[in-house]
A and B are shown apart, each in its own frame.
Chain A
Amino acid sequence: MIEVRELSRSFGKVRALDDVSFDAESGRITGLLGPNGAGKSTCLRILSTVLSADRGRASIGGIDVAADPLAVRRLFGVLPHGAGLYPQLTARENIRYYGELHGIDGATLEARIDGLVRRLDLVDVADRHAKGFSQGQRTKVALARALVNEPDYLLLDEPTSGLDVMATRDLRQWLTELKQQGCCILLSSHVMQEIAALADDLVIIAHGRLAALGTPADLRRQFNEDDLEQVFVDAVSEADVVSEADVVSEADVVSGADVVSGADVVSGTAP
């Protein structure tokens, strides 16, 4: 399980993340949804141990990300936004490098690379230099690289951006397979349809704050809306109102400390 509690982070005067709490369960896909600049990447970067939080805490598999980052990194695979490959290395070498950094080697590593290459449909390009790869091929290799340690947790930041329809569909299928194997998947997106097709749980954030959370069915009920896209728009515009109110009085800000379900958040944030 991934636990995020009262997580806050500012960059200068900008509050990128403000008191966000949510859980992501194992064997489920949790979608982190929000407009551009909502704080999704900041949240995922804190979880992936490359940024630190100003306040609050986050843990993966019970290990605090700030306290023992190296132990956490052994558990997860990360696909950051626009993840880059080494253009002079082949697809296989790119994957092998990460495998070795995870302390895997020899026959075990080669078997895993072969498995990933086959599963992600990279057989044709596996031994070509990554220099000329298409965006889809790059994302596949980056995903294979993130999966080389057979992680129990997978963090993906906008994995479908730049992918065509076919590649997006393939990606959805692999993520569903991984979920069925018990993997805990947290992925971010700013497109509701993307996530609606995939996520079991939704976490909607706007202006660095939690706007709503729950299963798609929960959210439809809360917002009295069949269309999930409309739910997203409603949740974000409610957050906008709070954000403006925040300018008037800091005291009005919902602490979010006891967020358990989306209903609490929504009722709490209603003006």
Chain B
Amino acid sequence: MSPIAIVCRKEIVDNVRDRRTMLSTLAFGPLFAPLMFVVMIQIVVDRAISSGEERLDVPMIGIEAAPNLEEFLAARGIDSDPDHGIADLDAAAEAVANGSLGYAIVLEESYAEDFGSERPARLTLVFDRSNSRDSERVQRVRSTLRQFTERIGVLRLIARGVSPEVVRPVIIDDYDVSTPTGRSALVLGILTYFLLFATLMGGMYLAIDATAGERERKSLEPLLTTPVSRTSLLLGKVAATVVFMLASLALTLVGFAIALRYLPLDELGMSSGFTPMTAVSAFFLLAPFTLLGAFLMTLVASFTRSYKEAQTWLGLLLLVPTLPVAIATLLNVQPSQALMWVPSMSQHLLITAFIKQDPVAPLMVAQSVASTLIYAALLALVTIRLYKREALLG
């Protein structure tokens, strides 16, 4: 057996027996990540579904002056909340600003008179744009109010013998071409990040153990006196790290495949394109990334003086792949050949495309794999150089 294989096998056996490593490989990725994802999605779904159906109790100040409006709103599930105890617009604004009230409708004192004499009657919808909890409800109240004013306008025109079409010179129809899977991709974009995170996490403790841990335990010096080159020792350790990362990735994908079956994505008008085939494609797309990640983590851990210091730095390192993924999600970046040179973003874009069931150019897949492997090779050279330094002993 080659020295690399001997070192790799020893590291695997050693770490399989280490509870912390096994927790981060088996528990965090495969269980925790999909679970967290399901909870997050569940909250989004619940909010979207409930705000469309629930009856709302809205404080309406001065609604006594507008019985027809009150009736119109009530018929559409928006009731007047009589116990609001708020006197005027200023009080309502204060209550909404300090959060004791989600939102409120305030009618002007002259509302009844203006409405009666067919002058524009004024009312104010008080709300807080930064309050995302009530944003769906405010939206619903506002559009219901619009319907009301439109309806009254139409009735008044008819009363004057004018066709309501006069005030509708243009008719706007919505034609949303996004497919249900396309819409779900936005939500599932977070999924790639969880995958990257779980993959790195799976190998993190091994990368620390192989360098800073070995030095701290004082087992590094005798190891360096065995007739095996430092390059072989390093490659064996990185190989073991890659094995753990691949195991974590595979289990996490299985975890997601199972978890996504129980998500009510259909109710959001989304369908999950996360088929077993998607999972397999994601595995092979991310496999080269494990090599890059393993060398990167080993490199960073080699710089540190102690296990704890390594843990701190690698904890920060776990956040690095977020950046390209966050940019891609926020700016709605489309896959392009140039972006295939950005590690973690290329994987994110391709996996998202697979989930959307968009056509993916084989050339892009090849570029993503090749670029990631090139970066891994460069990092390998740097790490090997670093490993040959005397200072490695600390």
A contact set with B: CB distance below 8 Å: 45, 48-52, 70-71, 73-74, 76, 78-80, 82-89, 93, 97-98, 100-103, 105, 129, 142, 145-146
Residues from chain A with Cβ under 8 Å of B228 in the complex: 70, 101
Q: Is the CB of B227 within 8 A of A80?
A: no
Residues from chain A with Cβ under 8 Å of B225 in the complex: 48-50, 73, 76, 78, 80
Please choose the segment from B13-21, B42-50, B114-122, B253-261 that sits at the chain A interface, where 4 or more of its residues have CB less than 8 A away.
Answer: B13-21
Chain A residue, CB-CB nearest to B229: A70
Q: Is the CB of A83 within 8 A of B227?
A: no
Q: How far is the CA of A248 from the CA of B393 in the complex (A)?
A: 34
- For this complex, 6 residue pairs linking A to B, each with C-beta atoms less than 8 Å apart, are A48-B221, A70-B229, A84-B214, A88-B15, A101-B227, A142-B222
Residues from chain B with Cβ under 8 Å of A87 in the complex: 217
Chain A residue, CB-CB nearest to B11: A86
User: Which residue of B17, B222, B223, B229 has the most chain A CB atoms within 10 A of its CB atom?
Assistant: B222
Chain B residue, CB-CB nearest to A80: B221
How would you classify the secondary structure of chain B's contact residues: helix, strand, loop or mixed?
A: helix
Q: Is the CB of B227 within 8 A of A50?
A: no
Chain B residue, CB-CB nearest to A142: B222
Chain B 193-217 per-residue mask, 1 if CB under 8 angstroms from chain A, else 0: 0000000000000000000001001
Q: Is the CB of B13 within 8 A of A93?
A: yes
Q: Is the CB of A83 within 8 A of B1?
A: no
Q: Is the CB of A83 within 8 A of B221?
A: yes
Q: How far is the CA of A83 from the CA of B224 in the complex (A)?
A: 12
A143–chain B nearest beta-carbon distance, Å? 11
Q: How far is the CA of A78 from the CA of B218 in the complex (A)?
A: 13
Residues from chain B with Cβ under 8 Å of A129 in the complex: 17
Q: Is the CB of A101 within 8 A of B393?
A: no
Q: Is the CB of B18 within 8 A of A52?
A: no
**Apart from A50-B393, A89-B17, A97-B10, what are 10 other A-B pairs with CB-CB below 8 Å?**
A45-B221, A49-B224, A49-B225, A50-B221, A51-B393, A73-B226, A78-B221, A78-B222, A89-B14, A93-B13
- Which positions 61-82 of chain B face chain A at CB distance < 8 Å? none
Q: Is the CB of B10 within 8 A of A83?
A: no
Interchain CB contact (< 8 A) of A83 among B3, B7, B219: B219
Residues from chain A with Cβ under 8 Å of B390 in the complex: 50-52
Residues from chain A with Cβ under 8 Å of B226 in the complex: 73, 98, 101-102
B contact set with A: CB distance below 8 Å: 1, 3, 6-7, 10, 13-15, 17-18, 214, 217-229, 390, 393
Chain A residue, CB-CB nearest to B216: A84
Q: How far is the CA of A72 from the CA of B14 in the complex (A)?
A: 28
Q: Is the CB of A88 within 8 A of B6?
A: no
Query: Given A73-B227, A103-B227, A105-B1, do A83 and B222 touch, yes or no (CB 8 Å)?
Result: yes
Count of chain A to chain B residue pairs whose CB atoms are closer than 8 Å in the complex: 79
Residues from chain A with Cβ under 8 Å of B7 in the complex: 101
Q: How far is the CA of A76 from the CA of B226 in the complex (A)?
A: 9
Q: How far is the CA of A208 from the CA of B266 in the complex (A)?
A: 77
Residues from chain A with Cβ under 8 Å of B15 in the complex: 88
Chain B residue, CB-CB nearest to A148: B226
Q: How far is the CA of A102 from the CA of B10 in the complex (A)?
A: 14
Give the 4 A-B CB pairs with smallest separation, nearest first.
A84-B218, A84-B219, A84-B217, A88-B17
Residues from chain B with Cβ under 8 Å of A80 in the complex: 218, 221-222, 225
Q: Is the CB of B227 within 8 A of A102?
A: yes
Interchain CB contact (< 8 A) of A88 among B1, B18, B214, B223: B18
Residues from chain A with Cβ under 8 Å of B219 in the complex: 83-86
Q: How far is the CA of A52 from the CA of B7 in the complex (A)?
A: 25
Query: Given A87-B217, A100-B1, do A145 and B227 touch, yes or no (CB 8 Å)?
Result: no
Query: Given A50-B393, A74-B227, do A89 and B13 touch, yes or no (CB 8 Å)?
Result: yes
Q: How far is the CA of A82 from the CA of B6 in the complex (A)?
A: 24
B4–chain A nearest beta-carbon distance, Å? 11
B216–chain A nearest beta-carbon distance, Å? 8
Residues from chain A with Cβ under 8 Å of B217 in the complex: 84-87
A10–chain B nearest beta-carbon distance, Å? 13
Query: Given A50-B224, A73-B225, do A82 and B1 touch, yes or no (CB 8 Å)?
Result: no
User: Which residue of A50, A79, A98 has the most chain B CB atoms within 10 A of its CB atom?
Assistant: A50
Q: How far is the CA of A83 from the CA of B225 in the complex (A)?
A: 12
Q: How far is the CA of A73 from the CA of B220 in the complex (A)?
A: 15
Q: How far is the CA of A129 from the CA of B6 in the complex (A)?
A: 19
B243–chain A nearest beta-carbon distance, Å? 16
Q: How far is the CA of A14 from the CA of B7 in the complex (A)?
A: 36
B124–chain A nearest beta-carbon distance, Å? 68
B11–chain A nearest beta-carbon distance, Å? 9
A35–chain B nearest beta-carbon distance, Å? 22
Q: How far is the CA of A97 from the CA of B219 in the complex (A)?
A: 12
User: Which residue of B13, B17, B227, B393 has the most chain A CB atoms within 10 A of its CB atom?
Assistant: B227
Residues from chain B with Cβ under 8 Å of A50 in the complex: 221, 224-225, 390, 393
Chain A residue, CB-CB nearest to B21: A88
A185–chain B nearest beta-carbon distance, Å? 16
Q: Is the CB of B6 within 8 A of A97?
A: yes
Residues from chain A with Cβ under 8 Å of B222 in the complex: 78-80, 83-84, 98, 142, 145-146
Q: Is the CB of B224 within 8 A of A100?
A: no
A48–chain B nearest beta-carbon distance, Å? 5
Residues from chain A with Cβ under 8 Å of B223 in the complex: 101
Residues from chain B with Cβ under 8 Å of A84 in the complex: 214, 217-220, 222
A257–chain B nearest beta-carbon distance, Å? 26
Chain A residue, CB-CB nearest to B393: A50
Q: How far is the CA of A50 from the CA of B388 in the complex (A)?
A: 10
A66–chain B nearest beta-carbon distance, Å? 12
A72–chain B nearest beta-carbon distance, Å? 8
User: Which residue of B10, B13, B220 has the most chain A CB atoms within 10 A of its CB atom?
Assistant: B10
A193–chain B nearest beta-carbon distance, Å? 26
Q: How far is the CA of A145 from the CA of B6 in the complex (A)?
A: 16
